[in-house]
Amino acid sequence: MKAFSRSLGPVCAVIGAQWGDEGKGKVIDLLSEQFDVIARACGGANAGHTIVVNGKKHVFRLLPSGCLHEKKEVVLGGGMVIHLQTLLEEIASLETAGVSILDRLFLYPNAHIVFEYHKEIDAVLEERRMGQKGEEIGTTRKGIGPAYMEKAARSGLRLECLRWSVQALKKELEERQRAVVQMYGVRIDLDRECLAFTNAKKLLESRVVANGPELLHRFLAEGKTILIEGAQATLLDLDQGTYPFVTSSSTTAAGALQGLGLPPRALTSCIGVAKAYCTRVGSGTFATEDESDSGNRLRERGGEYGSVTGRPRRCGWLYLPDLRYSAMINGFDCWNITKLDVLDTEETIPVGTGTTDDGKVRFENLPGWKTSTRGMTTFEKLPKEAQHFIEFIEKQTGISARLIGTGQGREEMIVK
Tell me if 2-109+210-415 shares its fold with 112-206: no
DSSP 40-101: EEEE-TT--EEEEETTEEEEESSS-GGGGSTT-EEEEEEEEEEEHHHHHHHHHHHHHTT---
Please give the pLDDT value at position 409. Answer: 85
Please give the pLDDT value at position 100. Answer: 93
Please give the pLDDT value at position 307. Answer: 66
φ, ψ dihedrals at 324, nearest 5°: -65, -40
User: Which residues have CB under 8 Å from 273's CB, separation 6+?
Assistant: 14, 15, 16, 17, 22, 23, 24, 27, 233, 335, 336, 338
2-109+210-415, CATH topology level: Adenylosuccinate Synthetase; Chain A, domain 1 (3.40.440)
CA atoms within 13 A on the CB side of 333: 16
User: Which residues have CB under 8 Å from 27's CB, separation 6+?
Assistant: 14, 271, 273, 336, 338, 403, 405, 413
Please give the pLDDT value at position 308. Answer: 63
Is the pTM of the predicted complex or chain greater than 0.85? yes
Please give the pLDDT value at position 265. Answer: 96
Known catalytic residues are: 21, 49
Q: Which residues of 81-114 are buried (b: 16+ CB within 10 A; e: fewer)?
A: bbbbbbbbebbeebeeeeeebeebbbbbbbbbbb
| Rounded Cα distance, 244 and 321, in Å | 20
112-206, CATH topology level: Adenylosuccinate Synthetase, subunit A; domain 2 (1.10.300)
Q: Where is 212: in which H helix or E strand? A: helix 212-221
User: Which residues have CB under 8 Å from 122's CB, separation 6+?
Assistant: 139, 141, 142, 143, 144, 145, 146
Query: Would you write out the chain's pLDDT as a tens digit for each of its 416 residues?
Result: 888 988 999 999 999 999 999 999 889 989 999 999 999 999 999 876 777 767 777 778 999 888 888 889 999 999 999 999 999 999 999 998 889 999 999 999 999 999 999 999 999 998 888 777 666 666 778 999 999 999 999 999 999 999 999 999 999 999 999 999 999 999 999 999 999 999 999 999 999 999 999 999 999 999 999 999 988 999 999 999 999 999 999 999 999 999 999 999 999 999 999 999 999 998 899 999 999 999 999 999 999 987 666 789 999 999 999 999 999 999 999 999 999 999 999 999 999 999 998 989 999 999 999 999 999 999 999 999 999 999 999 999 999 999 999 998 888 999 99
Q: Domain segments of the chain: what residues?
A: 2-109+210-415, 112-206
